[in-house]
Structure formats: C-alpha cells, structure tokens
Chain A
Amino acid sequence: MHEFSIAMDIVDIATSYSRKEKANVVKEVEIEVGQLSGVVVEALEFSLEAAVKGTMLENARMNLIFIPGKARCTNCAQEYETDTVYMPCPACQTGAPDIFQGRELRVKSLIID
C-alpha cells in the first residue's frame, strides 16, 4: 500500500515547513488529493493517523480536500468530469483526453502558531 509512504512524505513536508516557520503548534494540514492521483483517500487517512504519531503533527487536523477529475477532449475541446484517466469524450467519443484536473497530490497549506 503506497499510501503509507505517501503519508510519511506528507509528514516530512509538513514538519520541515513547520520547523522552518518556527511553529510551536500545528493546528491543521491542508492536503489536496485528486480523484485521479492514484491515491485512495480512505487509505491515506488511515495511513496518516499512524504516520503522525510521535511527531509535532500528532494533534493536527488532517484536512483532506478531494479534487474531482476533469478532462478536455483533444478533438472537440469538450470539458467533462471523469473518474478514470481514459474516459472517452461524451460528445465525440474520442479517447485519451487531457486530464487538466484531478491529478493533484499536494500539501497545500499549514495552520500554525
């Protein structure tokens, strides 16, 4: 389950930025998780719970923000929502669209003191 190593990377990123900002307390970590990022949100939540133990993020709220997948047709420029990376265009059936939203996997912000 790669969500464990992803969770460890999130903890590393958030703690190193918190240190750089000389934070005493981390109240919240905001994490963007795209629908097409390859990460299962529930598995990530579960992994984060284990990963924060004994770190300065232990009591911080992990705010996972889900970002839906969006595709643009390479033939007719139609934009549509998709839950796969390959869903064909609903208007003209062309496959392999440009995915312009939903691949995010990013530590967006921290709320610290």
Chain B
Amino acid sequence: MEFWRVPFDSEAIEVSRGIVYIIEDRCKGCGYCIEFCPKSILAFSSRFNKKGYHPPELLDHDICVNCHYCEIICPEFAIYSLPAPLEKTG
C-alpha cells in the first residue's frame, strides 16, 4: 500500500491475510466473487465441476485480505475465507 504520509504506527499494524476455500461442486459460475474481489485475485478455472460450471480459482493466495466479500456475495455457499495462520502474514 502507498501512503502520502507514512502513519507513525504503520509498522505495528498488521494487514489481515486470508485463505480462500472453494466448494467447487456448489458453484454455478456466476462470476460475482471474481468480479467484486477487491484484490482481483480470483479467476475462472479451466476445470469443470459436477454440474458443468467453471468454478473460480485463486490466482495469488498470498494477497487475500480476508475481507469475506466473495463469501457474502456468493449466492451458492460455495466460497469462503478464513484468517491465515500467523506465519503466513506479511
């Protein structure tokens, strides 16, 4: 992140990190999670699921900020994020 003035406590603030889980066979390929992820780290995979849709996959799992937006916009209960274990942050 770029700052025009570096906050005094920027060293102390930890940006949260998440791990995304995808329950592929529930996905119906609407693409909402892909379109609205603030970090743009999701994309359609080339795989097909049981129903013939392309579920999303993670492009870069190191920059998920665990905002849960993919989880709450998904109409299918097919994707969610959990906090990454501490050693994975930073």
Chains A and B come from one and the same complex: no
> Could you list which residues of chain A lie within 8 angstroms of chain B, going by C-beta atoms?
none
